[in-house]
A = this chain, B = another copy of it.
Amino acid sequence: MNFDRIFSENSRNLQASEIRELLKLLDRPSIISFAGGLPNPDAFPIEELKPVIEHVMKEHAYDALQYGPTEGHNKLRDAIAKGMKSLFNCDQEMDNIIITGGSQQGLTLLAHIIIDPGDTVITGNPTYLGAIQVFNAFRANIEAVAQDEGGINHHSLRERLQDLNRRGKYPKLIYLIPTFENPTGITLSEERRKAIYDIICEYDLLLVEDDPYGLLRYDGEALNPIKSMDNEDRVIYLGSFSKILAPGFRIAWLAGPAPIIRKACILKQSQDLCASTFGQYCVFEAMRSDMLFPHIEIIKQMYRSKRDIMLKALDNYMPDGVKWSRPLGGMFIWVTLPLFMDSVELLPKAIENNVAYVAGKSFFPGGGGANTLRLNFSYATDGQIDRGIRLLAEVVQKELDLKGKGLKGEYISAF
């Protein structure tokens, strides 16, 4: 059978994620990998979850094993709405919330109900790879706005929108991870949040605010999501239990304007009928039994310490001319190599030296970033982090010795 005739236009854009393909190659036990984006399994509350799951099977098995409402179980939606109010000062009713199979499914639902082929969406440059994949799967035109040390720059954003409008293009949405961004670890300041919200109102845009890491803050004062400023009801907030409880239940939520929720819910009927009911019950009982928030403190301690170990190792081992972010939370550190270096070319040498990362290039839908790379600090053991950064620094030093001669002083990148 000739499958060329069979595949849709949408499917022709689909490309395997380089990251996920890479991860498959990293099974060699000698390799220390900072390439994934996985929570640490030691951060799963296994002992605390056992009585939670027992309770679900004892008291709610009939419902937890059955199909459930497409929008999700009301008690979980209600608990999330209350949590968004008390933690984030976001006024959400249960009816504004739909439970999804991970935030990734939330993104797919949004893309399907919003994006026609050729429609323009705005992201940061760089941005989350999974969002790029979704937008590509619906053949969006991605306009990626430059970031600086403070994240997406609101002046650059406004200029890009003005330019697009001049060319007759009116984007429908902007996608951002304002807090502890994947891949950079950067958090938008309160001032930038306000400035960006003003811009999306002025240009009549939706904002998709993806916030999987917001509760994993290790230093400084918490900032409320942009959703908390949303008096025009144009922000769609994506929250997730994957990083604060466990990804294996595949339970996340989408909170947004009623017309979006209605469409997303009808679409979700045809996509999977409902998110895992069993997972919803486990997550709800974890919230109800008051184990979730104390457990988040434990995760924060663990990841704060891992971040500090990685930062210290970078300080100790990395040669001059290499820069990195000092994230206040989340799971990633962003490294900028000297401009003449290419992290894609460097990767086989790193793997040869038993350490892996993700080359930054994949995160730049607007191009660039060849000299950047992403390090995950949540997954590796403390000892692996120190050793892995030392191995990586050796590779970078060798590359510097090889290619950097005579470039002293010129090779420090601006961002």
Q: How far is the CB of A33 from chain B (nearest CB, A)?
A: 14
A6-B206, A276-B279 as given contacts; A113 in contact with B14, CB under 8 Å:
yes
Contact B57 A7 (CB under 8 A): no
Name which residue of chain B comes closest to A49, CB basis.
B57
Question: Among A105, A138, A232, A248, which residue has the most Cβ atoms of chain B within 10 A?
Answer: A248
- Which residues of A from 260 to 276 have beta carbons under 8 Å from B? 260, 263, 266-267, 269-276
Number of this chain's copies in the assembly equals 2
Q: Which residues of B contact A10 (CB under 8 A)?
A: 112-113, 116
User: A166 at interface (Cβ–Cβ under 8 A)?
Assistant: no
Task: Name which of A37-45, A154-162, A366-374 contacts chain B.
Answer: A37-45
Q: Which residues of B contact A250 (CB under 8 A)?
A: 101, 272-277
- Which residues of A from 48 to 80 have beta carbons under 8 Å from B? 49-50, 53-54, 57, 61-68, 70
Q: Which residues of B contact A65 (CB under 8 A)?
A: 41, 44, 46, 49, 246-249
A9-B116, A57-B53, A130-B270 as given contacts; A3 in contact with B260, CB under 8 Å:
yes
Contact B44 A62 (CB under 8 A): yes
Interface string of A319-341 (1 = CB under 8 A from B): 00000000000000000000000
Q: Compute how far the CA of A64 lies from the CA of B276 in the bound complex, rounded to whole angstroms.
A: 14
Name which residue of chain B comes closest to A3, CB basis.
B259
Q: Compute how far the CA of A138 lies from the CA of B246 in the bound complex, rounded to whole angstroms.
A: 33
Q: Which residues of B contact A247 (CB under 8 A)?
A: 65-67, 273, 277
Known: A8-B138, A46-B57. 11 other contacts (CB 8 A): A1-B206, A1-B232, A7-B114, A7-B263, A8-B113, A41-B65, A65-B249, A68-B248, A104-B273, A250-B277, A278-B278
**28 cross-chain CB contacts under 8 A:** A1-B206, A3-B260, A6-B114, A7-B263, A8-B112, A10-B113, A11-B114, A14-B113, A14-B267, A38-B67, A41-B65, A46-B57, A46-B62, A49-B57, A65-B246, A66-B246, A66-B248, A67-B242, A67-B248, A101-B272, A101-B275, A108-B271, A130-B269, A134-B271, A137-B267, A248-B276, A249-B276, A278-B279
